[in-house]
Amino acid sequence: MKPTIRALVFSYSDSLHYFAGTTEEQEGISDTVNYVKDADGKPQKFPSLDRAKRTLIEMGFEKGWLVMQSPYDEMIGTEKAQKSELPLVFAKDE
Protein backbone atom coordinates (compact mmCIF):
# COMPACT_ATOMS: atom_id res chain seq x y z
CA MET A 1 0.00 0.00 0.00
CA LYS A 2 1.34 3.43 -0.97
CA PRO A 3 1.76 5.74 2.07
CA THR A 4 -0.48 8.79 2.28
CA ILE A 5 1.32 12.12 2.25
CA ARG A 6 0.19 14.80 4.73
CA ALA A 7 0.57 18.53 4.04
CA LEU A 8 1.96 20.68 6.85
CA VAL A 9 2.24 24.43 7.46
CA PHE A 10 4.65 25.48 10.22
CA SER A 11 4.20 28.53 12.44
CA TYR A 12 6.84 29.52 14.98
CA SER A 13 5.99 31.85 17.85
CA ASP A 14 9.21 33.85 17.41
CA SER A 15 9.09 34.19 13.60
CA LEU A 16 7.19 36.29 11.08
CA HIS A 17 7.34 33.55 8.45
CA TYR A 18 5.58 30.29 7.72
CA PHE A 19 7.05 27.16 6.16
CA ALA A 20 5.25 24.41 4.21
CA GLY A 21 6.11 20.79 3.68
CA THR A 22 4.93 17.21 3.49
CA THR A 23 5.42 14.05 5.51
CA GLU A 24 4.55 10.36 5.29
CA GLU A 25 3.91 10.24 9.05
CA GLN A 26 0.16 9.74 9.40
CA GLU A 27 -0.48 11.35 12.75
CA GLY A 28 1.08 13.27 15.57
CA ILE A 29 3.90 15.75 15.47
CA SER A 30 6.01 15.10 12.42
CA ASP A 31 9.78 14.94 12.75
CA THR A 32 10.40 13.91 9.13
CA VAL A 33 9.42 16.75 6.78
CA ASN A 34 10.15 17.45 3.13
CA TYR A 35 10.02 21.25 3.10
CA VAL A 36 8.93 23.25 0.05
CA LYS A 37 12.21 24.72 -1.25
CA ASP A 38 13.04 28.07 -2.83
CA ALA A 39 15.22 28.56 -5.93
CA ASP A 40 18.37 28.19 -3.79
CA GLY A 41 17.25 24.84 -2.34
CA LYS A 42 16.49 26.29 1.12
CA PRO A 43 13.12 25.96 2.90
CA GLN A 44 10.86 28.60 1.33
CA LYS A 45 9.62 31.32 3.69
CA PHE A 46 5.99 32.38 3.26
CA PRO A 47 4.82 35.81 4.52
CA SER A 48 1.38 34.49 5.53
CA LEU A 49 -0.56 31.34 6.31
CA ASP A 50 -2.64 31.97 3.19
CA ARG A 51 0.41 31.97 0.89
CA ALA A 52 1.67 28.71 2.39
CA LYS A 53 -1.77 27.11 1.99
CA ARG A 54 -2.03 28.28 -1.64
CA THR A 55 1.27 26.59 -2.45
CA LEU A 56 0.02 23.32 -0.96
CA ILE A 57 -3.26 23.67 -2.89
CA GLU A 58 -1.22 24.08 -6.09
CA MET A 59 0.57 20.84 -5.16
CA GLY A 60 -2.84 19.09 -5.10
CA PHE A 61 -3.65 19.02 -1.37
CA GLU A 62 -7.18 19.60 -0.09
CA LYS A 63 -6.36 19.49 3.61
CA GLY A 64 -3.39 19.66 5.93
CA TRP A 65 -2.18 20.49 9.41
CA LEU A 66 -0.99 23.71 10.99
CA VAL A 67 1.98 22.88 13.21
CA MET A 68 2.52 25.55 15.86
CA GLN A 69 5.80 25.55 17.72
CA SER A 70 6.91 27.52 20.76
CA PRO A 71 10.53 27.34 21.97
CA TYR A 72 10.05 29.23 25.24
CA ASP A 73 10.00 26.26 27.66
CA GLU A 74 13.12 24.85 26.03
CA MET A 75 14.86 28.25 26.23
CA ILE A 76 14.57 28.33 30.01
CA GLY A 77 15.51 24.66 30.34
CA THR A 78 12.25 23.22 31.64
CA GLU A 79 11.39 20.85 28.77
CA LYS A 80 11.49 20.35 25.01
CA ALA A 81 9.90 22.94 22.72
CA GLN A 82 6.12 22.64 22.66
CA LYS A 83 4.34 21.74 19.40
CA SER A 84 0.70 21.31 18.53
CA GLU A 85 -1.11 20.44 15.29
CA LEU A 86 -4.44 21.85 14.16
CA PRO A 87 -6.37 20.56 11.13
CA LEU A 88 -6.66 22.85 8.09
CA VAL A 89 -9.13 22.46 5.24
CA PHE A 90 -7.99 24.11 2.01
CA ALA A 91 -10.63 25.69 -0.24
CA LYS A 92 -9.44 26.06 -3.81
CA ASP A 93 -11.27 29.37 -4.20
CA GLU A 94 -9.75 31.00 -1.09
What mean pLDDT is reported for the chain? 81
Number of H helices, E strands in the chain: 2, 5
Instruction: Look at residues 1, 7, 13 and name the one whose alpha carbon lies nearest to residue 59.
Output: 7
Q: Which one is predicted more confidently, 59 or 76? A: 59
**pLDDT score for 26:** 75
Give 3-31 pLDDT, tens digit per residue.
688 999 988 777 789 999 999 887 666 67
Are 40 and 18 in contact by the 8 Å Cβ rule? The answer is no
Rg (CA), the chain: 14
pLDDT of residue 54 exceeding 90, the answer is yes
Q: Which one is predicted more confidently, 93 or 15? A: 15
Strand partners of residue 18: 11, 46
What's this model's pTM, rounded to 2 decimal places?
0.76
Element (H, E) at 34: strand 34-35
